[in-house]
Amino acid sequence: MKVTLVSPYHGGSHQAWATGYQAASQHDIEILDLPARFWKWRMHGGAVTLARRFLPHTDLILATDMLDLSTFLALTRPETATIPTVLYMHENQLTYPLPEDPTTGAMRRQHGERDRHYAFINFTSMLAADRVLFNSSYHLDSWFDSLPAFLKHFPEYNELGAVEEIRARSGVLPVGIDTGNLDRLAGEEGKSVPAGSSPGDSPAGDSPAGDTSQGNSAPLVLWNQRWEYDKNPGAFFDALFVVADEGIPFRVALCGERFSQHPEEFEVAIDRLEDRIEHIGFAEPGLYTRLLWEATVTVSTAHHEFFGISILEAIHCRTFPVLPERLSYPELLPQGARDSCLYTDPHGLVERLRWALLNADEATRLAADELVPHIARYDWRNLAPVYDGVLQAVAAGAASPESPPDPQVRR
């Protein structure tokens, strides 16, 4: 089957998802894309530009949430009238959190208020699609929980009946990760898991200090998220300051995409933790992979996360995750490891971070024994056949099929 994957904002996780699926799929995937810049204009004009480039010889259209799908289909209606369409929701413009400071962030030109037009593009794109796929259950649920109130903003004919109509043909299909690239450095940089050791006590326990080094250096704490307000870097640095003041040895790598306007907490922390800083800013793939394998612990304090590719990449490299017990994070972990990894308040964050730093070998072993086998389901080699089956069912005319018998896909 030939699939045209339409990606108007082709960069970062959107690009990794598209190329990862393209490489692993049994279908013939052709990517129709535009560069990842000017996201608002991509949501307006991307459909027009890509409609002009569209070649009709395809069996199915797979579009991302950054496409105004209704406009794209209208402009290509002679060619696409009978072609099934699937909309993949990496994110949405309705439940993305706004910054406390209205002069910062993506909506600063609206003085911190949400521009409803972009959420409406998401809504009409869902109406136009035969099937809608979200990358996590949290993402699906948060969208449909918020959609009725959004539609009620409009004065009349607000189409509340469309909520259940769309939900009935929506499902969850997570993002895949390419573990092959991560494994290429495993032999050289991979962590050694102590033979015969077992995962340590709960982070809440008073565990004695273990081996706090990897080689001759202190444990590495990894930040591998964007430098933006929605990732809540202030809470991350507050936790680091606590364990630093306690005299616990650690190093820190501040990876992730850094923008010209980024939270000032980064500059304060870089100055305060200067002697512990291993890396600052975006890391090229080779260096990033080395840091993933070298890191003992990765931490998220995010206010916003619809999936969490960077966390899965870190876990695959035996890095122990410390994550908030909200958003999409609980979905990524096995039930038995959630108490060890998930926190509900700043105290719990510090507690788990402290334990991982003082018990680096045990944290690595827990990641290797309990987390790595669980997240193997997200490897494209395992997930691409599920994607293939879902798209094949839609192409065959089953716009609202029962979910395939895979636990990662649900209605």
Least confident of 93-102, 232-241, 287-296, 324-333: 93-102
In a domain, 70, yes or no: yes
> What pLDDT score was predicted for residue 20?
96
CB neighbour list of residue 326: distance below 8 Å, 6 or more residues apart: none
Mean pLDDT value of segment 401-409: 42
CA dist 164 → 147, 155, 167, 391 (Å): 10, 20, 5, 22
Q: Are residues 185 and 333 in the same domain?
A: yes
Q: Are residues 306 and 386 in the same domain?
A: no
> What pLDDT score was predicted for residue 41?
95
In a domain, 405, yes or no: no
> What pLDDT score was predicted for residue 269?
85
Q: Are residues 8 and 113 in the same domain?
A: yes
Q: Are residues 231 and 153 in the same domain?
A: no
Q: Are strands 342-343 and 320-324 parallel, antiparallel or unpaired?
A: parallel
The model's pLDDT over 2-31, given as tens digits with 9 standing for 90+, comes to 999 999 999 989 999 999 999 999 999 999
| pLDDT at position 87 over 60 | yes
How many structural domains are present in the chain? 2
Q: Are residues 290 and 155 in the same domain?
A: no
In a domain, 148, yes or no: yes
In a domain, 139, yes or no: yes
Least confident of 14-23, 112-121, 358-367, 375-384: 112-121
Q: Are residues 212 and 258 in the same domain?
A: yes
Quote the pTM value: 0.86
CA dist 19 → 16, 24, 125, 162, 281 (Å): 5, 9, 23, 32, 24
> What pLDDT score was predicted for residue 259?
64
CA dist 301 → 70, 78, 156, 345 (Å): 36, 48, 40, 10
Q: Are residues 202 and 93 in the same domain?
A: no
Q: Are residues 306 and 183 in the same domain?
A: yes
> What pLDDT score was predicted for residue 185?
67
Q: Are residues 241 and 373 in the same domain?
A: yes
Instruction: CATH number of the domain at 8, please.
Output: 3.40.50.2000
> What pLDDT score was predicted for residue 60?
97
> What pLDDT score was predicted for residue 101?
62
In a domain, 228, yes or no: yes
DSSP letter string, 78-147: HHHTTS-EEEEES--SSSSPPPSSTTSSTTGGGTT---HHHHHHHHHHHHH-SEEEESSHHHHHHHHHHH
Q: Which residues of 190-229 are buried (b: 16+ CB within 10 A; e: fewer)?
A: ebebeeeeebbeebeeeeeebebebeeebbbbbbbbbbbb
% of the chain at pLDDT higher than 90? 73
DSSP letter string, 173-241: -PPPB-HHHHHTTHHHHPPPPPTT----S-TTS-PPP----BTTBPPEEEE-S-SSGGG-HHHHHHHHH
In a domain, 403, yes or no: no
Domain range spanning residue 315? 179-377
| pLDDT at position 397 over 90 | no
% of the chain at pLDDT higher than 70? 83
The model's pLDDT over 216-272, given as tens digits with 9 standing for 90+, comes to 589 999 999 887 878 999 999 999 999 999 999 999 999 987 666 666 788 888 889
In a domain, 272, yes or no: yes
| pLDDT at position 400 over 50 | no
Cα separation, 378 vs 178, whole angstroms: 9
Q: Are residues 154 and 185 in the same domain?
A: no
Least confident of 14-23, 87-96, 214-223, 319-328: 214-223
Q: Are residues 310 and 336 in the same domain?
A: yes
Q: Are residues 131 and 273 in the same domain?
A: no
In a domain, 400, yes or no: no
CB 113 within 8 A of CB 152: no
